[in-house]
Amino acid sequence: MSQEQMIVPASHGEAFRVKAGQHVLIENVYGNQVADLWALAADDAFETSSLDQTRSVNSNIFFATGMTLMSSRRRPMLTMVADSGDVRHDTLLCPCSRELYRQLGCADGHRNCSDNFHEALSALDLALPFTPASLNLFMNVPVAPDGTVDRLPPTTVAGDTVVLRAEMDLVLVLSACPQDVTPINGASRTPRDIGVSLHDTNPAEVTA
Amino acid sequence: MSQEQMIVPASHGEAFRVKAGQHVLIENVYGNQVADLWALAADDAFETSSLDQTRSVNSNIFFATGMTLMSSRRRPMLTMVADSGDVRHDTLLCPCSRELYRQLGCADGHRNCSDNFHEALSALDLALPFTPASLNLFMNVPVAPDGTVDRLPPTTVAGDTVVLRAEMDLVLVLSACPQDVTPINGASRTPRDIGVSLHDTNPAEVTA
């Protein structure tokens, strides 16, 4: 991965090695697309990103600029240092899975973020016997006062970007979510590509 | 474990084997005490209770009567069939840990729910290389419209109980939370015992 933009193809996953101090720019190329994100410590795949630790440290149920994604050992992994859409990213809901699409009445074989996570790890010769909770970038999940969650299309527009600074050496996994039953990837229910590039400094500051 | 009440001692953890169809009654003996809860499938410790799957299936960020705790493979594990306090139990925050108490300025060796989880598993000759998110029974974590979470004393009173029906054979782990820095276990910041008993039918219906 480099300053040149790489693509996470629609409905697929990719894993990338990122060094502490590097900045990851993630582009919502078409605006409608949710990107499920996980991080694993470079030296121990069992130290994964942890959304319960993340909510505890940030004292918030959403993820936004200035907040840090924490590991299962309560260590900082990735800090969001820029967000052109200034949205509240979801920390609450699970990555989609075979079981979810079965419950939604889809045929077997529907692509899903959980399998994308394991496929992407496998490409780096890594494996985990479970699927950690995901940080769901661009995903619009408002919460009502009674705690009910809704699943709405993203409010982001084509070209919106977030920048995450790595706080440790890690493996970053992204899945361009294949969900095409609910409107979580836009009213047209058409999964799209996500763009990714890696930078030595914050690219949002350079271009600002 | 039987119909006789067992005690999870203040600031400690215990693990119990529970069969599908059995009912677990958990008593907040002194009213102020949070109980962190995990479940593991009896035949595969890596299939753990999953709060992100649970929020997805119940479409709610809190846990209450009628809701089901789901596994990391989206299978039902435990359904809450009674709750004398009728409260909204927390699904959002992490179990406390060595790292948390270090950050709070406590001396090394402060008891914590994460170590309690692993100690309790070890007593059943089980082990996991990570700490899953916990369901935090009786824990009072209101969420403001901007997503900010608060940490307040429980609203339960002495003798309040919840009943959970096991939907599969599982290992149940409970920790009587040792937190004595924040008021999450009551304004007196004094961790207390939790009571547990196992029943073939719903004991709340029998005594109602």
Residue A1 lies in a domain: no
Let me know the angle formed at the C-alpha of B27 by B182 and B123, rounded to the nearest 5 degrees.
Answer: 80
- Label each residue of A2-64 as H, E or C: CCCCEEECCCCEEEEEECCCCEEEEEECCCCCCEEEEEEECCEEEEEECHHHHHHHHCECEEC
Taking an 8 Å cut-off on Cβ atoms, the answer to whether B103 and A74 are in contact is yes
End-to-end CA distance of chain B: 23
Cross-chain CB nearest to A60 (options B129, B130, B149): B149
Q: Give the distance from residue A199's alpha carbon to the nearest chain B alpha carbon, in angstroms.
A: 31
Rg, chain A, Cα only: 16
Identify the CA nearest to B157 among candidates B84, B89, B81, B65. B84
Q: B59-71: per-residue pLDDT in tens? A: 999 999 999 999 9
Question: What end-to-end distance do the CA atoms of chain A give, in Å?
Answer: 23
> By percentage, how much of chain B surpasses pLDDT 70?
98
Q: Do B56 and A93 touch (CB under 8 A)?
A: yes
Whether residue B173 lies inside any domain: the answer is yes
CB contact under 8 Å between B74 and A143, yes or no, is no
Looking at residue A1, what is its pLDDT? 47
Which chain A residues are within 8 Å of B130, Cβ to Cβ?
A: 46-48, 72
Q: What is the pLDDT of residue A4?
A: 83
CA–CA separation, B28 vs B17, rounded Å? Answer: 20
Q: Average pLDDT for consecutive 10-residue bins of chain A (208 residues)?
A: 83 98 98 98 98 98 98 98 97 98 96 98 98 98 97 97 98 98 95 97 78
Does the residue A178 lie in any domain?
yes
Look up the domain containing A174 and give its range. Answer: 6-207
Phi, psi for residue A153 in degrees, rounded to 5: -60, 150
Q: Please tell me the distance from the alpha carbon of residue A144 to that of residue B84, in angstroms, as a whole number.
A: 24
SS3 A8: strand
Q: What is the pLDDT of residues B80-132, one digit of tens each?
A: 999 999 999 999 999 999 999 999 999 999 999 999 999 999 999 999 999 99
A96 found inside a domain: yes
pLDDT at position B4, please? 83
Evaluate whether residue A42 is within a structural domain. yes
Asked if the structure places residue B63 within a domain, the reply is: yes
- pLDDT for A5 equals 86
**pLDDT band, residue B2 (cuts 50/70/90):** low
ipTM: 0.96
- Is some CB atom of chain B closer than 8 A to the CB atom of A118? no
Q: How far apart are CA B155 and CA B200, in angstroms?
A: 29
What letter does residue B140 receive in the DSSP assignment?
B
Residue B146 has pLDDT above 80, yes or no: yes
Helix (H, G, I), strand (E, B) or coil at A101: helix
Structure confidence at residue B19 (pLDDT): 98
CB contact, 8 Å: B125 with chain A? no
A84 touches chain B (CB under 8 A): no
What are the counts of helices (DSSP H) followed by strands (DSSP E) for chain B?
A: 4, 13
Distance (Å, rounded) from C-alpha B153 to C-alpha B31?
10
Alpha carbon distance B71, B48 (integer Å): 5
CA of A152 to nearest chain B CA: how many angstroms apart?
Answer: 13
pTM of the model: 0.97
| % chain B with pLDDT above 90 | 96
Number of domains in chain B: 1
pLDDT of residue A207: 53
For residue B1, being part of any structural domain is answered with no
Question: Would you call A164 exposed, middle or buried from its count of C-beta atoms within 10 A (0-12, 13-18, 19+)?
Answer: buried
Q: Which of A52, A99, A147 sits opposite B61 (nearest CB)?
A: A147
Distances (CA, A) of A154 to A27, A89, B156: 13, 10, 38
Q: Nearest residue of A to residue B141 by CA position?
A: A59
Inside any domain, residue A200: yes
Alpha-carbon distance of B18 to B38, in angstroms, equals 12
Place of tokens 């809190």: B62
